[in-house]
Amino acid sequence: MKETARKSSQEGRIVNVSSRRHKFTYPEGIRFSKINDQTGYNSLSAYGQSKLANVLHANELARRLQEEKVEITANSLHPGAIATNLFRHHSFVSGLVDALGKHMMKNVEQGAATTCFVALHPDVKGANGRYYGNCNLAEVSSQANDLQLAKKLWDFTMTLIDQCKT
């Protein structure tokens, strides 16, 4: 992407799909010391942790790309509540989604709108390290704005990748 952005003088855009659920994670945000530990595991908090990681990744990537002076942006977004099988392991919630989803949730096209907006719309040109919802800027949690947490997640991930190479 960097090479293409430089050669074409066109802005590249990286879009991380997250969720407003990033605001509802474990108290420490990312459980680095318990990343695979099932002790104290909570499926909804773990989901929130994964969505927080998506926002933090986009923010740290945005910072690094900007530091390199590459014309590539990285942003994250909440696509909205879309009737999917996300809650298939929570029978009560799954039943509610099935029954009420078509009346209270977005359809697939509506759910894709913010992703398409962030990826393609001219109003997003140059926007970097931002979070969107409903095709507008949206608020993130304090943890999602934590630069140290974003860097720690980046470094943690790089260590895991390096371990997999050996």
- Is 41 known to be catalytic? yes
For residue 27, CA distances in Å to 40, 45, 64, 119 come to: 12, 9, 27, 31
* b/e map 82-113, b = 16+ CB within 10 Å: ebeeebeeeeeeeeebeeebeeeebeeeebbe
For residue 166, CA distances in Å to 155, 156, 162, 163 come to: 17, 16, 7, 6
Nearest to 25 by CA among 42, 6, 8: 42
Describe the crossing of helices 43-67 and 147-165 by its angle, rounded to 10 degrees: 90
- Active site residue: 26, 41, 47, 132, which one? 41
Catalytic residue positions, numbered: 41
